[in-house]
Amino acid sequence: MEPGTLSTFLKRGAIWGFIVLQLVFFSIAGKYLSLSDTAFMDLDNMLLLLKQSAPIGIIAVGMTVIMINGNIDLSVGAIFALAAVVMLDSMTWPVFAGLGDWVIPVAWALALLTGIVLGAINGLIVWKTGVDAFIVTLGAMLGYRGLVFMYNGEQPTSHLNWTLVDFAEAQFLGLPTAAWFLLGTVAVVWFIMNRTVHGRNAYAIGDNREAAVNAGIRVGPHFLMNFMLIGFLAALSAVVFYSESGSVNPNDGQLYELWAITAVVLGGTKLTGGSGSIISTLGGVIAIQLLRKGLGHIGADTETVNLVIGLILIAVLFLDRQLNLKGKQELRV
């Protein structure tokens, strides 16, 4: 096997091996350390894990596209919260009072439109100013979070629609609604990244932006479309989550950008761009959720969970660097 092929296999296959290792470890450890009588690999546990993975997972899929492009978006948590506020609050607007349950798709559309517009603002600034996306979206994170607080102060925004709750809690073919949204998002974005010109351009731009420009790729509009995509997905994540919970606090979504980036990196996407996999990002999301759930199953506290995930992330970044060096025949052990 050639070095490049080995590197790709290890990056994209290792996350699934890590998941299997976690399942085996926590299943065995749980028999001796868990205070619960429920088996760790119980079917209901695994379905719940997939459902709980959906909010971060949907955002992480969009983050993968952005990072393959050589950018990053730190504003997704704030977009998530603002879209949720718009969705729940719009259901109570007098103008929609006569719609009954038809207000649900209207509220969804307004929330998704909010995400697209906020993403477009980020993309336009990155495109037209040339300022690094890290700086632009850091400012956007603070600005959009400020809008959340301006909207309703420090009070939660709440509206519980039981038709919406029933939809969110429903199962189809044994999978909860949130899981179908996650898997559908993965399938659609995978297709875009692997079967369309836009996807191929994303990899080309992330790998060598100057060469992409010389090849005639319109980098600015491409960035704009991808920031609109991640804005849409952040809003979709909010739609999926708050359709069931019915209440959003102004601080909701904080650190979501960091969890999403962690999942993307665990899935093997390069921080410098040009390489990454949507399917492996799904593995990264599941691995993080499995680690949090597994450590909780054996009695670990939140601080321990965060410490372990942080150490694993550092190890993955070190391994990624070593594998990149191996591709240049410079692997150091």
CATH number for the domain that contains residue 121 = 1.10.3470
Tell me how many helices (H) and strands (E) the chain has. 13, 4
Report if residue 87 sits inside a domain: yes
Report if residue 206 sits inside a domain: yes
Q: Which domain holds residue 66?
A: 54-316
State the average pLDDT over residues 114-138: 96
Report if residue 212 sits inside a domain: yes
Report if residue 39 sits inside a domain: no
pLDDT at 292: 86
Residue 323 has pLDDT above 70, yes or no: no
Domain count, the chain: 1
Report if residue 241 sits inside a domain: yes
pLDDT at 256: 92
State the average pLDDT over residues 170-179: 89
Distance of CA 228 to the CA centre of its chain: 14
pLDDT at 100: 83
Report if residue 16 sits inside a domain: no
Report if residue 325 sits inside a domain: no
* 155 vs 111, higher pLDDT: 111
Report if residue 177 sits inside a domain: yes
* Rounded (5°) CA angle 98-101-107: 90
Q: What is the pLDDT of residues 260-298, one digit of tens each?
A: 998 998 888 888 888 899 999 999 999 999 988 888 777
Concatenated DSSP letters for 87-115? HHHHTT-GGGGGGGGGHHHHHHHHHHHHH
pTM: 0.90
